[in-house]
Amino acid sequence: MAEQRVITAEGLQQLIAILAGEGRRVIAPTVRDDVIIYDDIESIDDLPLGVTDVQGPGSYRLVDAPEAEYFGFVVGPHAWKKFLHAPQIELWRAQREGGGVNIHAADIYAERAAFIGVRACELAAIAIQDRVLTGGQHVDAHYKMRRDHALLIAVNCSKAGGSCFCASMETGPAATGGFDLALTELKTAQDHLFLVDVGSSAGQALMDQISSRAATAQEHNAAQAQVEHTTESMGRSMPAGVNTPQLMADNLLHPRWQEVATRCLSCANCTMVCPTCFCTTVDDVSDLAGERYARERRWDSCFTMDFSYLHGGGVRNSVASRYRQWMTHKLSTWVEQFGSSGCVGCGRCITWCPVGIDITEEVRAIAGVEAV
């Protein structure tokens, strides 16, 4: 890998301008209604400078940050899957003509997007969705088109959130690959710098247009230290020394599933905010004349009754079985299906569960390990 470069906030602004100039949508964290979401930005001023998030089970707050950093927070309610694996799309439409039907596959458009501020756990999540949606015999053309045209500009986390446990999932907090550029924000009393690792030729081409200098050893070490500090301050962890996939497989009848069902709302929030959950369903629609048809696809969740519907009723009627499906899939069967865990430790399912059910805590309960 090429040497680390250093840019300033102006350099970052330059980068945004270059990306926009290329006709790209520039999407980055930005504050809306007191929450950091991912949305289009026009300049560095749209980034959440000086705010940070305080997260825990079922709780999220934005507060003023001790340091005026651009990326001094962790992940919010949005995942990048919103842009890559769109929440709702039309697959095809058709029209009755004569005795037949004309079927038109939906045009597959990709916005050329640049994602700024992709965290290590999110890179891992994108890699997982890549395997799910493009790694098999069939390729999701909509996903692939968007994915191929997305530029990933990662940010190494300078702090860990209250729900974060990427370190224990070995997916972060530092980006190790799968990005075009990776930034480490270094804020000191004197300087506000970004160390840049280049991860692709596209990334290099961008760097070539921005004024930068080589990182000093001191800066390099400071960045390392920051990542180490983040690792050490993780809000949560998956229990160490537990073979989680096997644990799940061995405990399909554990009483904890019943217990969690008393708390679980089966509202599906965890699956919706999860950056790897990929399930979708389709609805067929028609006009009132019964002559035009379309099929629409949208995100679905294994927490809905309809998900497992089989002429007459659902296969998973109890909330316990639906929670079990989600958790065992994420942590166990996923490994057999796609070669890795489906969990990247981003903690969204913990923060955005309205009643604060904590997946790491549930694993501990089933493993019989004391809470930390």
Partner 1 sequence: METLEQMLGAHPFFAGLDPSFIGLASGCAHDVSFAAGEFICHEGDAADRFYLVREGHVALQISAPGRGVATFLTVGPGEVFGINWLAPPYRWSYDARTVEKTHAVALDATCLRVKCENEPALGYALTKRVLPVLIERLHACRTQLLDLYGVPS
Partner 2 sequence: MTGRHKRPRLAVWKFASCDGCQLSLLDCEDEILALAEAVDIAYFPEATRSEISGHYDISLVEGSITTAHDAVRIQEVRRRSTKLIVIGACATSGGIQALRNFSDVKEYTRIVYARPDYIETLATSTPISDHVRVDFELRGCPINKHQLVEVLGAFLVGRRPATPAHSVCVECKLKGNACVMVAHDAPCLGPVTHAGCGALCPSYNRGCYGCFGPKETPNAPALSAKLSELGMDQRALARLYSTFNANADAFRQESERHDQDGQG
Partner 3 sequence: MALMSAHRLSTTSGCGVPADVPRLGYVRGRRSDAPGVWTLDIEMADDAPCDFAPGQFNMLTAFGVGEAAISISGAPGGERLIHTIRDVGPVSHALANLAPGDPIGVRGPFGVGWPMATPGSDVLIIAGGLGLAPLRPSIYDILARRDAFGAVTLLYGSRRPEDIVFHAEVEAWRREKKINIELTVDHAGVDWRGHVGVVTGLLPRVQLDPSRAIALLCGPEVMMRFVGAALTEQGLDATKIFVSMERNMKCAIGHCGHCQLGPTFICRDGPVFTYERMRPLMSVKEL
Residues that bind partner 1 (CB under 8 A): 311-313
With contacts defined by CB under 8 A, name the span among 46-54, 116-124, 168-176, 292-300 that binds partner 3: 292-300
For residue 310, count other CB atoms closer than 10 A to its CB.
7
Beta bridge partners of 39: 28
Handedness of CA 324, 325, 330, 331 (dihedral sign): positive
User: Does residue 108 touch partner 3 according to CB under 8 A?
Assistant: yes
Could you tell which of partner 1, partner 3, partner 2, none binds residue 112, using a CB distance below 5 to 8 A set by kind?
Answer: partner 3
> Is residue 288 a contact residue for partner 3 (CB under 8 A)?
no
- Report the SS3 class of residue 77: coil
Task: Report the nearest approach of partner 2 to the CB of residue 128 (Å).
Answer: 19
Residue 35 makes CB contacts below 8 A (sequence gap 6+) with: 60, 62, 76, 77
Burial track 274-294 (b if 16+ CB lie within 10 A, e otherwise):
bbbbbbbeeeeeeeeeeeebb
Q: Which residues make up the interface to partner 2 (CB under 8 A)?
A: 32-35, 37, 58-61, 76-78, 82, 87-88, 96, 262-269, 272-273, 283-291, 298-299, 301, 303-306, 317, 319, 351-352, 354-356
| Burial class for 86, CB neighbours closer than 10 Å (0-12, 13-18, 19+) | middle
**Mask: binding to partner 3, 170-199, rule CB under 8 A, as x and -?**
------------------------------
Return all residues near 55 (Cβ < 8 A) that are at least 6 apart: 61, 74, 161, 162, 163, 164, 235, 347, 350, 351
267 binds, among partner 2, partner 1, partner 3, none (CB under 5 to 8 A by kind): partner 2
Tell me the β-bridge partners of 206.
none
| Nearest to partner 2 of 68, 101 (CB atom) | 101
Give, for 97, the enclosing helix (H) or strand (E): strand 88-97
Q: Which does 313 bind (CB under 5 to 8 A by kind): partner 3, partner 1, partner 2, none?
A: partner 1
* Binding-site partner at residue 264 among partner 2, partner 1, partner 3, none, CB < 5 to 8 Å by type: partner 2
The binding site for partner 3 (CB under 8 A) comprises 23-25, 91-92, 94, 96, 99-101, 103, 105-112, 132-133, 136-141, 144-145, 149, 252-253, 278-282, 284-286, 290, 293, 295, 297, 300, 302, 307-312, 315-318, 320-321, 324-325, 329, 332-333, 336-337
